[in-house]
């Protein structure tokens, strides 16, 4: 390698453009820091003419990112195209096969093909760095993969999607509906035009599967994961959570249990005073529990051009420094197969909101169904007067409806499911039950 690390960058969206600007303006500084100059030689993007506020004339242009990935003129291929297949996947494979290091922000690609790509990278003696793929500007990959290597990690959990956290924060602070907050998130550019990926939890799931692998030394497993998004959360749930001393957050949780590893993404009630409950708006946070460190929380910007470019560039500078770590923290052949802990065995407290007909005996029959499953109730509240929020959700047919809200002590998912099935057969509930897991973090 010469005294310059030559970069080919594919994808000039928000992150790619920010990375290119920063790499250009800080070139000398990087040379001082890394001992090797870093120079972007060539770029590729969908449109050559789109105005990005940056002069591209000094870079060799490639229409096809695969050609850029194979170019002899680069040492590192930076993939900021996105997507778990198509040009991003083809170009990353081509780069590795032609002996180029790869830096990527692509969580979907790593979640789906990470095991195989890690193997390929090792076989070709190149690095595959993806700090920007999880929690944007927060250096969580390095923290888990490298800085916490002395620990037996028992749990990693966090708020990994800024769009969802923004929506839940606004719902709580302003009593707004999910739809109203989503529209604002889209207007402000936080949420995509098609927000499904974010609000249904898939974006969080991708990031979590990567963290699971790094924390527990397992192969990435993107199928064996429970994923529930935030679209069913109503102002009534947010208000009830507040009254009970909780906040609702979309958490990704990876946890070791006696039977395997739980990998789950779902709305979660967390105590208002917990550190994770303090994370508001688009901010992300990851908590890592290790036997030596206890509990460490990393919080910061999980998205945005500059913040994500910061992580991309740190990965490039690591390569200029000669730092190469196995992509998944250990040789790919030493990764252990992922063993899923069954969700029905999950233990925890539960919030259950049941919209029922306002009739005598309903309250008692629900309590009986819970008792049959040996579920202890911490509280059971009947909202005599509907709050403004639940008023707004009430259907015309629900004129005489009431919400019954239960908080259970620790029990299992299986018992909760059985109790709810029994309650359904009793015929009192007039809307699908809302069940939210509680984490007393």
Q: Which residues are catalytic?
A: 207
Cβ distance 154 to 291 under 8 Å? yes
Closer CB to ligand HSE, 198 or 221, in the complex: 198
Asked if 434 is part of the footprint of ligand HSE (rule: CB under 6 A), the reply reads: no
Least distance (Å) between residue 379 CB and ligand HSE: 33
Least distance (Å) between residue 184 CB and ligand HSE: 14
Binding mask 9-48 for ligand HSE (x = CB under 6 A): ----------------------------------------
Among 303, 319, 375, 429, binds ligand HSE (CB under 6 A): 303
Among 106, 161, 222, 263, binds ligand HSE (CB under 6 A): 161
Closer CB to ligand HSE, 203 or 403, in the complex: 203
Least distance (Å) between residue 308 CB and ligand HSE: 8
Among 137, 229, 302, 349, binds ligand HSE (CB under 6 A): 302
Look up residue 107 and give its two tokens.
């969580």
**153-159 and 294-301: which strand pairing?**
unpaired
Among 82, 87, 162, 201, binds ligand HSE (CB under 6 A): 162
Q: Which residues are CB-neighbours of 46 under 8 A, at least 6 positions away?
A: none
Least distance (Å) between residue 194 CB and ligand HSE: 11
Closer CB to ligand HSE, 303 or 406, in the complex: 303
Strand partners, 430: none
Closer CB to ligand HSE, 39 or 200, in the complex: 200
47: Cα separation from own chain's centroid: 29
Asked if 106 is part of the footprint of ligand HSE (rule: CB under 6 A), the reply reads: no
φ, ψ dihedrals at 118, nearest 5°:
-65, -45
Q: Which stretch binds ligand HSE (CB under 6 A): 47-55, 160-168, 269-277, 423-431?
A: 160-168
Asked if 163 is part of the footprint of ligand HSE (rule: CB under 6 A), the reply reads: yes
Among 79, 89, 172, 198, binds ligand HSE (CB under 6 A): 198
Q: Which stretch binds ligand HSE (CB under 6 A): 34-42, 46-54, 156-164, 171-179?
A: 156-164
- For 338-361, letters b (16+ CB in 10 Å) and e give bebbebeebebbbbbbbbbeeeee
Closer CB to ligand HSE, 303 or 404, in the complex: 303
Query: Which whole-number Å values give the CA distances from 36 to 29, 312, 318, in the listed order?
Result: 10, 17, 11
Binding residues among 343-402 for ligand HSE as defined by CB under 6 A: none
80: nearest Cα among 324, 309, 319: 309
Asked if 79 is part of the footprint of ligand HSE (rule: CB under 6 A), the reply reads: no
Cβ distance 281 to 256 under 8 Å? no
Among 75, 89, 172, 203, binds ligand HSE (CB under 6 A): 203
Closer CB to ligand HSE, 163 or 402, in the complex: 163
Closer CB to ligand HSE, 158 or 162, in the complex: 162
- For 14-37, letters b (16+ CB in 10 Å) and e give bbbbbbbbbbeeeeeebbeebebb
- Contact positions vs ligand HSE (CB under 6 A): 161-163, 198, 203, 302-303
């Amino acid at each position: 390698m010469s005294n310059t690390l030559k970069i080919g960058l594919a994808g000039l969206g928000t992150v790619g453009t920010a990375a290119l600007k920063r790499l250009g303006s800080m070139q000398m500084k990087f040379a001082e820091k890394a001992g090797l100059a870093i120079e972007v030689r060539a770029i590729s993007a969908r449109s050559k003419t789109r105005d990005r506020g940056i002069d591209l004339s000094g870079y060799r242009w490639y229409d096809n990112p695969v050609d850029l990935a194979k170019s002899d003129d680069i040492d590192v291929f930076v993939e900021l195209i996105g997507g778990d297949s198509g040009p991003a996947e083809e170009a990353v494979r081509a780069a590795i096969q032609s002996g180029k290091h790869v830096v990527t922000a692509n969580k979907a690609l790593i979640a789906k093909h990470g095991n195989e790509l890690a193997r390929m990278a090792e076989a070709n003696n190149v690095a595959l760095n993806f700090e920007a793929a999880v929690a944007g500007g927060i250096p969580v990959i390095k923290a888990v993969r490298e800085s916490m290597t002395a620990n037996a990690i028992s749990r990693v959990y966090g708020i990994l999607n800024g769009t969802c956290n923004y929506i839940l924060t606004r719902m709580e602070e302003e009593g707004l509906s999910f739809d109203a907050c989503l529209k604002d998130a889209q207007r402000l550019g936080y949420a995509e035009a098609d927000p499904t990926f974010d609000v249904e939890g898939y974006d969080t799931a991708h990031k979590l599967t990567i963290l699971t692998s790094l924390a527990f030394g397992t192969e990435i497993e993107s199928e064996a994961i429970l994923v529930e998004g935030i679209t069913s959360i109503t102002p009534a749930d947010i208000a009830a959570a507040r009254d009970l001393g909780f906040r609702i957050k979309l958490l990704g949780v990876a946890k070791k249990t006696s039977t395997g590893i739980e990998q789950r993404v779902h709305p979660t009630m967390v105590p208002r005073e917990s550190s994770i409950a303090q994370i508001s708006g688009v901010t992300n946070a990851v908590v890592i529990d290790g036997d030596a460190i206890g509990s460490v929380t990393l919080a910061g910007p999980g998205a945005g051009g500059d913040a994500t470019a910061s992580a991309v560039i740190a990965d490039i500078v690591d390569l200029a420094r000669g730092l190469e770590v196995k992509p998944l923290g250990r040789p790919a052949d030493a990764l252990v197969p992922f063993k899923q802990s069954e969700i029905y065995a999950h233990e925890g407290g539960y919030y259950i909101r049941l919209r029922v007909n306002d009739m005598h005996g309903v309250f008692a029959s629900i309590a009986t169904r819970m008792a049959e499953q040996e579920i202890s109730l911490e509280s059971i509240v009947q909202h005599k007067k509907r709050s403004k929020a639940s008023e707004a959700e009430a259907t015309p047919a629900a004129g005489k409806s009431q919400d019954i809200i239960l908080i259970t002590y620790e029990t299992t998912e299986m018992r909760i499911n059985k109790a709810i099935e029994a309650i359904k057969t009793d015929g009192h509930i007039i809307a699908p039950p809302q069940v939210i897991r509680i984490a007393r973090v």
